[in-house]
Each structure stands twice: as structure tokens, then as C-alpha cells.
Structure 1
Amino acid sequence: MRVKRIALPVLSVLFLAGCATTVPDLDRERLEGDLMAYGVTLSEEELPKPRGELELESAIHQALLRNPRMQAAYARLDLEAADVIEASQFANPSLSLSVLRPEGGGGNEYGIGLAWGISGWLLRSARIDIAESHWESTRLQLTEGMVALASDTERAWYEAVAARQQAQVQALETRAADLGLRLGQRFHEAGNITDLDKAHLRIRATESRLQLEEARRQERATRLYLAHLMGIPGEIEDWSVPATLPLPLADPDAPGALVDQALDGRLDLAALDKALDGMTEGVALVRRYRWLGDIEPGIEFERETDGTRLWGGGITFTLPLFNRNQSGVHRAEARLREGEARRDRLTDAIIADVHEQHYRLLHHRERFRMMREELLPAREIAMAGIQERVNYMFDDVFDLLEHKQEELRDWRRTVAELGDYWRARADLAYAVAGPLPGGPVGREGYFDIGQLEREPGQMHHHHDHGHDHEDHGEPHDHEHGDHTEHSGHGGHH
């Protein structure tokens, strides 16, 4: 006679199966609170695509709304939520039916069995805790991903502004070189300069135009990258970035305080800690139930061929004679050790990154200060001296234009240094998990290049070459776009 097992009563199974954990949900207020610590805010409403001048905060909002990285992060969070649901649910019971026909004839023997393992019920609470730890870890990873995207967008925005301002200065430098070439052509026609002198002027003008083309390519590339981060790849015609960079803000705290701030606030570190909580619970679980195999209690029902009905009960369980889940214990412990090692590596990387970005920020700030307060004023004084020598005919106008180009190259280098400062500041703010001191961007003013924008016709000079130079201020054909308003070379008198 075959024995068919029936699990606990059906009503009990159905009751327990209905005790599933509620699906974890992303709390917007909690998310906004975590982001606020980093100085990042979420837009309260759907945003149209950018138009006009794009401010930094708007660029970040566009990226958080449209960038596919965020959609992928939300999907990963949903996957972890599914794991929480799975951990909370019980295994379905197994139903078996049988019909046995006697060989010599007679009535059939019927059997029915309903089996349900209770191992999952014993482990359910711990598995839910582990799954929820992993969900919380993924939630923190999502938030950290949003902060990382905001930081990337901030850095790209500053790169685009710096590239635009550098292209403006380069356009002025190219105008000076083109003016020198036009003057040289007139002087050459009059026989006042040699073919070699004219060739040198053409070389300088051509090299300057090549640099202007590269500056414009770089400006376009930075805008394309910013558009990519904002989730509107290739769409750069309807919006622009500001034309001037803000001046540096106050210096950050000492590296030690910044490291403490980073270790307390970094969300990637907090996410790893949550994952380690789940791993630790997993090790305890597998150790606690290492002897436990499948356990199937049940009752039995059978009807014999003569119509007799039999009821009874039974239990089946695994004897841990050979496999005591040694591999499971070893695997769980190894995963925990690997997770702890990853946390140590991340901690070391954070400390090193804070120190590196702090030094990088101070380095670019000091270089910008030296250029702005020492190099550029010295260039201005030199230009005034050269202008005076040209007025008294000790030097000629080509010397003046050459020095003007050198001055403008230093202005372009200064703009690039200021852009490097702001990118370093964005990197340091991300590394320390929060905004840096100094107040709002623009509090100290902006690095204006308006003093360079003067008509080249203002650079008066007196020569006996027998030529009238009153039309030297005409715009050159190579100027276009946003830079056409810059109509001169910033001559000093």
C-alpha cells in the first residue's frame, strides 16, 4: 500500500501564504532629504526641454529627469523589490494524485497527497531582512547615482562655459593676427616689408585661425556632452550657456575635516554598509540552519479497493549524514569577507580622493590668482609701454599686434585655469558628500573680458609708410556666431 502525504490543513496554508510583505516603495521625501545633503534638489514638475540661456540648476534638473542612467537605476530598485516579495512568500504545496488498478481485477485503489515543506517558513523572517537590506542598499545606490549624475552635469556645465569664454578670447586673438596680415599686405605692396616678413605674418594669422577652429570645436564638443547628460543628445541649437565664468569662492576646510565629512555622508559607502548588513545576516542564517534540510509534515488519505478509507499523518525530513551545507557556510563567509574588503578599499579610495581633489582645487585657485593678479596686469603695463613706443615710432605696429596676441593668449590661459578650478571644486564637493563653503556661485563676481573688446582702430600709430590705416577695424570674414560682438583687440593707450 502506497502512502500519500498531505501537508498541514489547507486553510492554514492559505492563511500563511497571505502574509506577504508589502512591496517596498521609494519615499520621495526621504530621497529629497538625502539629495539635499549634497545640495541637489529635484524639480517639482515636468520640465520642457531647455531654451535660451541654461543655468546650472536647470541643467542638473534636466539630467535627473531625462538621463537614461536614472531609468536604469529605478529598474534595478524594482528588481530588488521583487526579491523582497519573493523572500516573503511561502513555497506552494505539492498535490499528487494516484490510481492503482489490481492485477487480478477488482476495484481501483485511489490516493491523494498534499505536501508542503516548512523550511521556508522557518527561514522566512531572516530572508525578508536580508532582502530588505539589499533593497535599502540599492535605494542608496540610486540616490548616489543621482548625486554622481548631478556632479557630472555640473562639471560639464562649467566645461561648456569655460570653452565658450576661451573661444571668445581666441576670436579676439585671431582678429589681431588677421589685422597684422592685412597691414602686412598693404606694407608689402608699398615695398616697406619683405616677402619673409609677410610670410611670418601669414603664418601667425593661419595658426591663430587654426586655434580658433579648435576652440570652436571644443566649445561644440562640451555642449554636445552636456546635452548628452541632460538626455537630449545632439540638441544644442535652442539653448546656450553663460558667456563668463564666476570668480573663485572661499577656500574649503582642511583635508582632515573634509575626510570626516565624506566618511559620514558618502552614500556609496552607506549603500555598501547596508549590503554588508544583509551579508552578515546571511552568514548567521546559514550557520543557524546548516543542519536543516527539507521538512515535509503532512496527513494522509487513502481508499482501499474494498472501500475502506484510511486517514493518518507523517513527516519527511533530510538526514544530514553527508552534506551538512559546509559549502553554503563557506560561501556565505567568503562573500562577507569580500564585502568587508570592498568597504576597506572604498574607504581608502575616498580618503585619497578627498586629499587629491583638495590639493587640486587649491592648485588651480592659486594659479588663477597669480595669472589674474600678476601676469595680466604685467601684460597690460607692457602693452601700454609698447603702444607708447609705437606712437613715438621706436617700434612698429607689427610689434604691437604681436604683443597683443601674446596678451590674449595669457587671457585665454587664465580662463582655462578658472575653468579647471570650477571642475576641481565640483569634484571635491562630490568627494566630500556635500556643498563646500563660500556661498552661492557668483557671489565674488565674474571674470569679465569686456575690457579686451575694443575697436582695433583705437590703436593709433604714426608711421611714414605712406598708407592710411583708418579701415583697420573692419571685421574679418572668419568671425561668426556668438563672437561677432567682440570687435577689437583691447588696445591700451
Structure 2
Amino acid sequence: MKFPRFTAAGIGWALAAFAAPLYVNASVPASEIADKAERHSAKAAAARAGIDDAQAQRELAGVWPNPELGVTFDDTGTEDESRSVQLTQRIELGGKAGQRVRVATAQYLTAETAMRQAVVDVRSEAVKAFYELALAELRLSEAKASNEIAGQFSRALDKKLAAGKVPPIDATKARLPALAAANDLKHAERQHLLAQRRLELLIGEALPEDKHALPELPPAPPQWPEVQQQLALSPQTRLAQLRVDASTAELGLQRAQRWPDLQLSAGVKETLDTGERGGLFGVSIDIPLFNRNSGGVSAAKARLRQAQAEQQAQQRERALLVQTLHAELLDLSERLRLYQSEIIPAAEASVRAAQTGYDYGRYAFIDVLDAQRSLLSARSERTGLWQQYLDRSAQFERELGGNAPGK
């Protein structure tokens, strides 16, 4: 004996929820979300301020030292009392100014590249949050459908229990999935709210009520040779090289500091009693007897070796990381395509067949529920794969500097 027909409406509602299109047109595309996040980001603003600071330091590095103006009074209170006015200019030897400009230029380029990486991080985080909101909406829809299925099953068994068709233990067991489904629905609602608030915080404004779309199919990552080229041109790779360049420039500056500076002076001396005036000219230079800046040069050499070693270590670590992410993205994209093209359609066809068989009395209600649970499980596994794909894709994009798949 099949279950009463009053459950058919509930089954139809659940089927409609499961059959609802996963990918819908979003009024706000992910690229626009990334643009808004970039404009709103304090991290990106701080990086731009760092560029302004580095530019000012670069301009300051090449300026000449200020001249010194001195006035002296000699033999005061005597007949030979005189006064002198003298102008002194320090001349930097050893190319100190040029080396300072090299250091400041390397720091400017570092700040500029760090800003590029900051923008990549901000945009990547915003796009990931956008698609995570789409996943949260999908999970919420699935939780509602699951809750309805569990409720239908529990109510049907309650009616059979009242009619004496099933033992009380079966009705009690049926309530457990209903309670679990209700709890899952509350959790999905909370996660959806958190995902929405997180994205709103990133872009600095409220989101419209429209749905948010996932890509129809996950884009596969580029071929490995192309990935290697992108990795070599990424901001993080550039930053590591710029640290070496800055350390090299700093070593050149420390070597230039070994050269003493030359001071040229010129002025006028006047004897107050007679009014006689005479010129003053002088040259002075430090004698590097006790301090030849050997410590500064040694420290700069050590920092250069450190920067070079860190660059090599980072290259190896990032190459291994990107290679791992590339392989995982390939696997995830293939699995998602399989779910989307074969597993999900097969599960949906099974639900439709079970629904039709139930309507004609060929299957029991439990067969329909089993088919729906299988579809729910397949969709849940697919959303889990999507979450993994989004996590790996965001990290992949940050490593490649915005050249992740689909960008």
C-alpha cells in the first residue's frame, strides 16, 4: 500500500527546489565586486601611500647637502678685533648621492610592486567572498529542500502510526532526520548571513537581494609552461628580486661611505679698527683613521647574502606550492565537470523516475525519499568541491599575481 496522495505536493515542492537552476544571472558581476573592494580597501590605500612616501624619499636622496653660514668674532675687546663671515659647502665624494638614489629607487620599486600584490590580494579575497556567498545561497536552498523532505517523511509515518500501519519505533526514527534537517537549515541560514555580511564589509556597501552566480563550469587552469611564465612575472617574484637589488644598492652606499667628504669654505674677514677686509678660503677633509665603515660594509654584505638565500628559498617553495595548486585545480575542475555533466543529471533523472513510479503506484514513498537523498548528497558533494576549488583558486591567483584561471 502506497502512502496517501497528500504527500505528492510536498514531494513536488522538493523536486522543484532540487531542480531549480544552480547558475543564475547576477545583477552585479564578480569583476564589479572586485572593483568596489579595491576602491574601499584600506590595505590598498596604505600601499598607495607607501608609494608616495618612497617617491618622496627618492627625490630627497639626490639633493645636495645644505651650505653652512658662519659668523665669527676674533680678538674682541682689543685693537685687533675682527669679524668673519664664511660660507661652507660639503662635497660628497665616492658617489654617495648616486648610491642613495639607487637605494631609494629600489625601495620605490618595492613599494610599487607591493601595492600591486596588495591589490591582487584584495581583489582575490573579494571574488572569493562573492562566490562563497553564491555557495551559501546554494547550501541554503538545499537545506530548505532537505528539511521539507525530512518533514514529509516524518509526517507520513505519523499518519501511518495513527492508522496502526507502522510500529512507534519507526515514527521515532523518522523524527531524527527531521530534527537534523531543521538544525542544518538554521546553520545554513547563519552561514548565508555571515557570507553576505563579509562581502558587504569588503565592498563597503549593502548588497542587492539578487542571486549571485557561480561560473557554469569551473575554468581549468592554464598549461604548466604558461603557469611558470606567469609565476616568473608575478609581484611576489619581483619583490624577492627587488629585495636583492635594494641590498646590492645598500652595499654600494656603505662602500661609498668609506670616502671622506670634502668641505670647501669661502668668506670675508674685516678688521673693525682699520676697516681692512680680506678673503678667506679653506679646504678640509676627514681623515679615515679610526672609522673606515668596515662594519657597515660587512653588515650590508650579510644582508645581501640573506636576501639572495631568501630569494632562492622562496623560488623553490613557491614553485612547489604553485605546482601543487595547479594539480589540485586540474583535479577539482575535472571532478566538478563530472558532477555537473553526469552525476547530478543522473541523480535528477532518478528522482524524476521515482516520482513518476510513485504516482503510478510502482514505488513506495521511501524509494522517492532515497532518490532525493541521493540527489541531495550529490549536490552537497558538489558544493564541497566548489568550496575547495574557490580556496585553491584564490591562493593560486595570489601566487600568480592575478593570473589565475578565468581571470
**1:95 equivalent in alignment to 2:62:** no
- For 1:187, the aligned partner's letter is K
**1:278 equivalent in alignment to 2:246:** yes
Residue 299 of structure 1 corresponds to which residue in structure 2? 266
1:364-403 equivalence runs, <5 A? 364-373=332-341, 375-376=343-344, 379-380=347-348, 383=351, 396-403=364-371
- For 1:220, the aligned partner's letter is L
Residue 286 of structure 2 corresponds to which residue in structure 1? 318
Q: Could you give the per-residue CA deviations for residues 79-123 of structure 1, whole angstroms, max 9, x where no partner exists?
A: 1011112112222222222335646x5574323332221127952
Shift in alpha-carbon separation, 1:202–1:358, aligned structure 2, 3 A: same
Q: What is the aligned counterpart of 1:417 among 361, 376, 385?
A: 385
Q: What is the aligned counterpart of 1:81 among 42, 55, 58?
A: 55
Aligned equivalents of 1:300 and 1:380: distance in 2?
Answer: 98
Q: TM-score scaled by structure 1?
A: 0.69
Aligned equivalents of 1:241 and 1:279: distance in 2?
Answer: 51
Residue 349 of structure 1 corresponds to which residue in structure 2? 317
Q: Could you give the per-residue CA deviations for residues 16-42 of structure 1, whole angstroms, max 9, x where no partner exists?
A: xxxxxxxxxxxxxxxxxxxxxxxxxxx
Aligned equivalents of 1:252 and 1:102: distance in 2?
Answer: 85
**1:228 equivalent in alignment to 2:201:** yes
Q: What is the aligned counterpart of 1:208 among 177, 181, 189?
A: 181
Given that 1:53 and 1:239 are in contact with CA atoms closer than 8 Å, whether structure 2 keeps it comes out as no
Residue 150 of structure 1 corresponds to which residue in structure 2? 123
Shift of 1:381: 6.0
Given that 1:291 and 1:325 are in contact with CA atoms closer than 8 Å, whether structure 2 keeps it comes out as yes
Given that 1:296 and 1:317 are in contact with CA atoms closer than 8 Å, whether structure 2 keeps it comes out as yes
Residue 36 of structure 1 corresponds to which residue in structure 2? none
Aligned equivalents of 1:239 and 1:303: distance in 2?
Answer: 86
Q: Could you give the per-residue CA deviations for residues 426-469 of structure 1, whole angstroms, max 9, x where no partner exists?
A: 443443446467xx69xxxxxxxxxxxxxxxxxxxxxxxxxxxx
Shift in alpha-carbon separation, 1:250–1:321, aligned structure 2, 3 A: closer
Shift in alpha-carbon separation, 1:296–1:274, aligned structure 2, 3 A: same
Given that 1:167 and 1:219 are in contact with CA atoms closer than 8 Å, whether structure 2 keeps it comes out as yes
Shift in alpha-carbon separation, 1:143–1:433, aligned structure 2, 3 A: closer
Q: What is the aligned counterpart of 1:198 among 165, 171, 185?
A: 171
Aligned equivalents of 1:256 and 1:291: distance in 2?
Answer: 47
- Which deviates further from its counterpart, 78-87 or 178-187? 178-187
Aligned equivalents of 1:432 and 1:81: distance in 2?
Answer: 26
Shift in alpha-carbon separation, 1:411–1:60, aligned structure 2, 3 A: same
1:470-485 equivalence runs, <5 A? none
Shift in alpha-carbon separation, 1:434–1:305, aligned structure 2, 3 A: closer
Aligned equivalents of 1:395 and 1:252: distance in 2?
Answer: 48
Shift of 1:377: 5.1
Gaps of 5+ in 1: 1-51, 442-493
- Percentage identity across aligned positions? 22
Given that 2:54 and 2:111 are in contact with CA atoms closer than 8 Å, whether structure 1 keeps it comes out as yes
Shift in alpha-carbon separation, 1:241–1:395, aligned structure 2, 3 A: closer
Q: Secondary structure at the match of 1:53?
A: coil
Q: Could you give the per-residue CA deviations for residues 309-351 of structure 1, whole angstroms, max 9, x where no partner exists?
A: 3322111211111111101211221222222222213212321
- Which deviates further from its counterpart, 131-140 or 65-74? 131-140
Given that 2:86 and 2:280 are in contact with CA atoms closer than 8 Å, whether structure 1 keeps it comes out as no
Shift in alpha-carbon separation, 1:147–1:434, aligned structure 2, 3 A: closer
**1:67 equivalent in alignment to 2:36:** no
* Residues paired across the two proteins, number: 381
Given that 2:90 and 2:261 are in contact with CA atoms closer than 8 Å, whether structure 1 keeps it comes out as yes
**1:118 equivalent in alignment to 2:86:** no
CA RMSD of aligned residues (A): 2.9
Aligned equivalents of 2:201 and 2:335: distance in 1?
Answer: 31
Aligned equivalents of 2:83 and 2:36: distance in 1?
Answer: 68
- For 1:77, the aligned partner's letter is I
Given that 2:103 and 2:250 are in contact with CA atoms closer than 8 Å, whether structure 1 keeps it comes out as yes
Q: TM-score scaled by structure 2?
A: 0.82
Q: Secondary structure at the match of 1:248?
A: coil
- Which deviates further from its counterpart, 394-403 or 413-422? 394-403
- For 2:218, the aligned partner's letter is P
Aligned equivalents of 1:64 and 1:257: distance in 2?
Answer: 27
Shift of 1:362: 1.8
Shift of 1:396: 3.9
Given that 1:177 and 1:405 are in contact with CA atoms closer than 8 Å, whether structure 2 keeps it comes out as no
Normalized per residue, the structure richer in helix is: 2
Q: Secondary structure at the match of 1:112?
A: strand
Aligned equivalents of 2:111 and 2:101: distance in 1?
Answer: 15
